[in-house]
Structure 1
Amino acid sequence: MDSSPLILLAAGGTGGHLFPAEALGVELIKRGLRVRLATDARALRYSGLFSKDMIDVVPSETVRGRSPWSLATTGIKLVAGTAVAFNLIRRLKPAAVVGFGGYPTLPPLMAARLLGVPGVIHDANAVLGRANRFLSRHVSAIATSLPGVLDRDPRLSEKTVTVGTPMRPAILGAAAINYVPPDTTGAFRLLVVGGSQGARVMSDIVPSAIERLEPALWRRLILTQQVRDEDMTRVRAVYDRLKINAELAPFFTDLPARLASNHLVVSRSGAGTVAELGAIGRPSILVPLPGSIDQDQFANAGVLAKAKGALRIAQADFTSDRLAAEISALAAEPAHLAAMAANARTVGRLDAAERLADLVVKVAGI
């Protein structure tokens, strides 16, 4: 049996949490360490570094409401998950537990605290998430993707290190591809994505925005759009009528390569998306998800917007007329797109996995 130290990674079962965990796992394995993943059942569909024999499913629940019944149900499930995680950690004896946010990280990190195992959390957002905010006082170290996240809390800032967002190998490969701006008469490649679950607003706004473009731009346009199954028929009908060269799908497994091959990206501004746009260096129009308590996507988009690598448009202002105007203006100014790509690249950190691995090894005392 391999006796090298084990690092237990804890992450929610979505790409925004799993991909940084995968990137760190790759780096830790390079250093001769073993890794396992504690997560929720959604991750069993995941097909990256963690094979099913490397995954431990730990029960968890997200806070979905403020009613006493909802809070009690969530609390019971999290306590049950902590008991499962307690037995798991006692059996595996990891040198450290590293969490990547989301409520599924709560049971493993709390069990680690109870057993005296060092804990580290990583947060990719410009605003600390609720689960990580709760865990922040119970771990040995906090890693953030962006600077200044905890500057206003001296008790936490002294154990906080800015490392960036660890990038999986596919993103690092895409980052090696230089941005080539479009010719004003040649093909214009536009990528529209809406996060892991898609975004209905993209199906509502983008087709009618495309319809408002000049016909000359229709002929240049090569459009790739993530469209949910329930919206597919109506979106495809618009593009077929306009004779747009469009590829539509509910999900793209090769998204890093698609990010690299397009001239402009229209997207939500989840932490992973913003980090990947920065790492690869691509211009974007970002539409933050509205209504979240922490307004994390608005803050994330602000990082790229401040660097002049993206346009941030609040969903209330994200109209077909506004989007058509922005696309038309950018398509006519290749030099502006090239400058946005270069500015976005200044936000990216390609060595984040190495930096986070250094922190984990230090905390674990390996």
Structure 2
Amino acid sequence: MAKGVILLAAGGTGGHLFPAEALAHELTGRGWAVHLATDERAERFAGQFPAAAIHPIQSATMGSKNPFAVLAAFWKIWRGVRQASAVIASVKPAIVVGFGGYPTLPPLYAATRRKVPTLIHEQNAVMGRANRALAGRVDAIAGGFLPEDTSATGVKTVTTGNPVRPQVLEAAKTPYAASAGEEPFRFLVFGGSQGAQFFSDAVPAAIARLSDAQRRRLAITQQARADDVPRVKAAYATLDIEAEVSPFFTDMAARLAAAHLVMSRSGASTVSEIAVIGRPALLVPYPHALDHDQAANAAALAAAGGAEVHPQSTLSAERIAVLVGGLMDDPGKAATMAAAAKSSGKPDAARLLADLTEAIASRKTVSEFRKETHA
């Protein structure tokens, strides 16, 4: 029989759902029944989520300056709070844990109104808007990169790292083997769960600028938006490059493990998974990210020596060709970056977050948790 129910709440993108999924696996292994509150976008990720039940909850983004849109958003969020309150009354969770994104607002607000213990996890180095709105109300905050300090939120923050899924931990068992000489060189390009048009435009043009010898070695896996897939495939076919292009890969962890080089955006989950698996990366932070959170995430991995960070505005096709070609021709540098990335990874983040979740569920304070665990 399960210990009880823990309700996880996450926005319906991979960046929010993947760490929630990792925690769900850990908690399920400890005997908890895990439920998930999310939105309709989560459908393509939900197949691998170990939830006893999934509860669709209404919510809305608060980005508009139109007063009618703001009122409509508030009304939708309020309906979501009522939905979430009914779910909480029904399943009686020991704690509600939020992972960011606007769909977390209704469940966490409902939980605080009902005096249910609450915890939020912030994946990024800069707290997102939804978590900022909740930070003052919840009992504890877990952070992937957030500092523990003396501020109002810092005193109840525990740096757990970002939980990674079991598939990532399995992939991390594959050691990095640099590609040298004429050996195949596997290049993985992806832009997060939403894809990235910049990579669809720039990377094929960059590959065209590599030498014939370099192109003969290349095998490319690239995530692209559905609308971009045909032209990206055609570009690589014209270059006679072995390439697999798709909007979504269900086995991304295995593809990361197989890669000799990764080029990607720098969302928190992406950076954390690259680090745990240990692969050299060229990180291109999304330039329009609020609060520049992706740049801060990328800086953390770059500081460890596991990645190079390149603003999108500095990357022409010629520049990308130089960067990729340089690492293809310098397996020693690629191996050094891979080792540095792996040394900065936190493969035990799911265990640490589960420990904190159980502590807050039992009504312990963050201070008491720190004393018990020396966290």
Residue in 1 that maps onto 2:316: 319
Residue in 1 that maps onto 2:366: none
> Following the alignment from structure 2 to structure 1, what is the Cα–Cα distance between the partners of residues 130 and 300?
22
CA contact (8 A) 1:281 1:345 kept: yes
Residue in 1 that maps onto 2:238: 241
**One-letter amino acid matched to 2:24:** G
| Corresponding position: 1:49 with 2:49 | yes
> Taking every aligned residue pair, what percent have the same amino acid on both sides?
49
More deviation, 62-71/168-177: 62-71
Structure 1 vs Structure 2 CA RMSD? 1.4
| Corresponding position: 1:79 with 2:61 | no
Residue in 2 that maps onto 1:66: 65
CA contact (8 A) 2:124 2:146 kept: no
> Following the alignment from structure 1 to structure 2, what is the Cα–Cα distance between the partners of residues 115 and 230?
45
More deviation, 155-164/67-76: 67-76
**One-letter amino acid matched to 2:303:** K
SS in 2 for 1:38: strand
More deviation, 223-232/105-114: 223-232
Equivalent positions of 1:19-34 (< 5 A) are: 19-34=18-33
Distance 1:125 1:365, change over 3 A: same
More deviation, 200-209/69-78: 69-78
CA contact (8 A) 1:167 1:350 kept: yes
TM-score, structure 1 normalization: 0.96
Equivalent positions of 1:281-300 (< 5 A) are: 281-300=278-297
> Following the alignment from structure 2 to structure 1, what is the Cα–Cα distance between the partners of residues 244 and 34?
37
Residue in 1 that maps onto 2:111: 112
Residue in 1 that maps onto 2:362: 365
* 1:84-141 Cα deviation digits (max 9, x unpaired): 1111111211110000000000000000000000100001101111100111110110
Residue in 2 that maps onto 1:6: 5
> Following the alignment from structure 2 to structure 1, what is the Cα–Cα distance between the partners of residues 68 and 158?
38
| Corresponding position: 1:251 with 2:245 | no
Residue in 2 that maps onto 1:202: 199
| Corresponding position: 1:340 with 2:337 | yes
* 1:147-174 Cα deviation digits (max 9, x unpaired): 42x64x6111111000011111100000
| CA positional deviation for 1:68 | 1.3
| CA positional deviation for 1:291 | 1.5
> Following the alignment from structure 2 to structure 1, what is the Cα–Cα distance between the partners of residues 196 and 69?
26
| CA positional deviation for 1:16 | 1.2
> Following the alignment from structure 2 to structure 1, what is the Cα–Cα distance between the partners of residues 14 and 146?
23
> Following the alignment from structure 2 to structure 1, what is the Cα–Cα distance between the partners of residues 238 and 49?
42
**One-letter amino acid matched to 2:341:** A
> Following the alignment from structure 1 to structure 2, what is the Cα–Cα distance between the partners of residues 236 and 271?
28
> Following the alignment from structure 1 to structure 2, what is the Cα–Cα distance between the partners of residues 230 and 31?
42
SS in 1 for 2:227: helix
> Following the alignment from structure 2 to structure 1, what is the Cα–Cα distance between the partners of residues 89 and 219?
54
> Following the alignment from structure 2 to structure 1, what is the Cα–Cα distance between the partners of residues 307 and 258?
17
> Following the alignment from structure 1 to structure 2, what is the Cα–Cα distance between the partners of residues 311 and 3?
45
CA contact (8 A) 1:279 1:350 kept: yes
| CA positional deviation for 1:324 | 0.4
SS in 2 for 1:121: strand
**One-letter amino acid matched to 1:342:** A
> Following the alignment from structure 1 to structure 2, what is the Cα–Cα distance between the partners of residues 161 and 218?
46
SS in 1 for 2:194: coil
SS in 1 for 2:222: strand
CA contact (8 A) 1:37 1:50 kept: no
SS in 2 for 1:222: strand
SS in 2 for 1:329: helix
> Following the alignment from structure 2 to structure 1, what is the Cα–Cα distance between the partners of residues 303 and 2?
47
Aligned residues: 362
CA contact (8 A) 1:5 1:95 kept: yes
| CA positional deviation for 1:61 | 0.9
* 1:74-93 Cα deviation digits (max 9, x unpaired): 11111110111111111211
| CA positional deviation for 1:328 | 1.0
> Following the alignment from structure 2 to structure 1, what is the Cα–Cα distance between the partners of residues 229 and 108?
41
**One-letter amino acid matched to 1:48:** Q
**One-letter amino acid matched to 2:251:** D
| CA positional deviation for 1:306 | 1.3
Equivalent positions of 1:105-184 (< 5 A) are: 105-148=104-147, 151=149, 154-184=151-181
| CA positional deviation for 1:3 | 5.9
CA contact (8 A) 1:170 1:257 kept: yes
TM-score, structure 2 normalization: 0.94
Residue in 1 that maps onto 2:91: 92
> Following the alignment from structure 1 to structure 2, what is the Cα–Cα distance between the partners of residues 233 and 40?
29
> Following the alignment from structure 1 to structure 2, what is the Cα–Cα distance between the partners of residues 4 and 284?
41
| Corresponding position: 1:188 with 2:189 | no
More deviation, 53-62/167-176: 53-62
Distance 1:30 1:225, change over 3 A: same
Residue in 2 that maps onto 1:302: 299
> Following the alignment from structure 2 to structure 1, what is the Cα–Cα distance between the partners of residues 214 and 2?
60
> Following the alignment from structure 2 to structure 1, what is the Cα–Cα distance between the partners of residues 71 and 146?
36
227, 248, 267: which one aligns with 2:224 = 227
> Following the alignment from structure 1 to structure 2, what is the Cα–Cα distance between the partners of residues 5 and 145?
26
| Corresponding position: 1:102 with 2:85 | no
> Following the alignment from structure 1 to structure 2, what is the Cα–Cα distance between the partners of residues 293 and 245?
36
